[in-house]
């Protein structure tokens, strides 16, 4: 069982020192009685802070509609990030809330966020071939035969050891296409089109496996059950 101060600090309630001040102030109860011992061993279910049960003690899994202009990196030097959309307490959790894979700054759409590192590893592993649907607009009409090339599993991108896995391309307009990828090489969609002379002007991910954005507006998220992708 974790220590009370460790548990609260890991769930983003504050530094261990701040949490100790909360305990002294009588803001935390354990099994109904005010608790002042930071080293008390507790389970999350028995702890109440300011009258409320603990905030997502078992973990977080969020489906975010990523807006354009935000990065998925935690490094502030790379610019404003998607985590700035989350409540401060979630941003202060340890393990940190991180994205499952990444979308570029200039890509919008469905992005999963979690503090469950096992889930990140599972869903980003090349073994776990989750189909992801991207909608791209292009600067020109794509060359004939592009769908066959993308489906062939032979397209070799510069700097990559292995060719791109077979991907499904559907042209939905003269310069618009849906592309389903089951892997995630760096800037893969943009690089696949660029390798055939097309620049991607806009890129949006509308599906991740069976999940879609529903009616989420850019910048909004919804919570998903932690077992959405099966037991941990």
Residue number with CB closer to ligand URA (23 or 103): 103
Token couple for 142: 């794509």
What residues are labeled active site? 104
Can residue 111 be called a binding residue for ligand URA (CB under 6 A)? no
CA–CA separation, 88 and 104 (whole Å): 23
CA–CA separation, 99 and 91 (whole Å): 12
Coil, helix or strand for 184? Answer: coil
CA–CA separation, 179 and 184 (whole Å): 12
> With CB under 6 A as the contact rule, which of the stretches 7-15, 32-40, 49-57, 102-110 interacts with ligand URA?
102-110
Angle at 103 between CA 70 and CA 210, to 5 degrees: 125
Can residue 9 be called a binding residue for ligand URA (CB under 6 A)? no
Coil, helix or strand for 5? Answer: helix
Out of 100, 146, 167, 189, which residue is the one contacting ligand URA (CB under 6 A)?
189
Residue number with CB closer to ligand URA (6 or 195): 195
Residue number with CB closer to ligand URA (47 or 164): 164
For the bound state, the minimum distance from the C-beta of residue 189 to ligand URA, rounded and expressed in Å, comes to: 3
Can residue 104 be called a binding residue for ligand URA (CB under 6 A)? yes
Coil, helix or strand for 146? Answer: helix
Under the rule (CB under 6 A), what is the footprint of ligand URA?
103-104, 107, 187-190, 203
């Amino acid at each position: 069982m974790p220590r009370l101060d460790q548990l609260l600090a890991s769930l983003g309630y504050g530094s261990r020192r701040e949490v100790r001040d909360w305990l002294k102030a009588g803001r935390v109860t354990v099994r109904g009685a005010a608790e002042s011992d930071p080293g008390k061993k507790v389970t999350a279910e028995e702890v109440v802070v300011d009258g409320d049960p603990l905030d997502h003690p078992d973990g977080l899994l969020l489906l975010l509609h990523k807006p354009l202009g935000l990065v998925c990196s935690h490094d502030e030097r790379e610019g404003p990030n998607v985590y700035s959309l989350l409540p401060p307490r979630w941003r202060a959790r340890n393990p940190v809330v991180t994205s499952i894979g990444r979308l570029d700054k200039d890509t919008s759409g469905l992005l999963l966020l979690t503090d469950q590192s096992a889930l990140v590893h599972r869903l980003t592993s090349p073994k776990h071939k989750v189909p992801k649907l991207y909608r791209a607009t292009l600067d020109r009409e794509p060359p004939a035969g592009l769908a066959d090339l993308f489906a062939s599993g032979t397209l070799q991108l510069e700097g990559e050891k292995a060719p791109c896995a077979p991907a499904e391309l559907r042209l939905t307009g003269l310069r618009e296409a849906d592309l389903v990828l089951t892997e995630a090489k760096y800037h893969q969609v943009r690089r696949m089109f660029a390798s055939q002379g097309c620049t991607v002007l806009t890129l949006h991910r509308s599906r991740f496996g069976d999940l879609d954005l529903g009616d989420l507006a850019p910048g909004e998220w919804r919570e998903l059950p932690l077992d959405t992708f099966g037991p941990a």
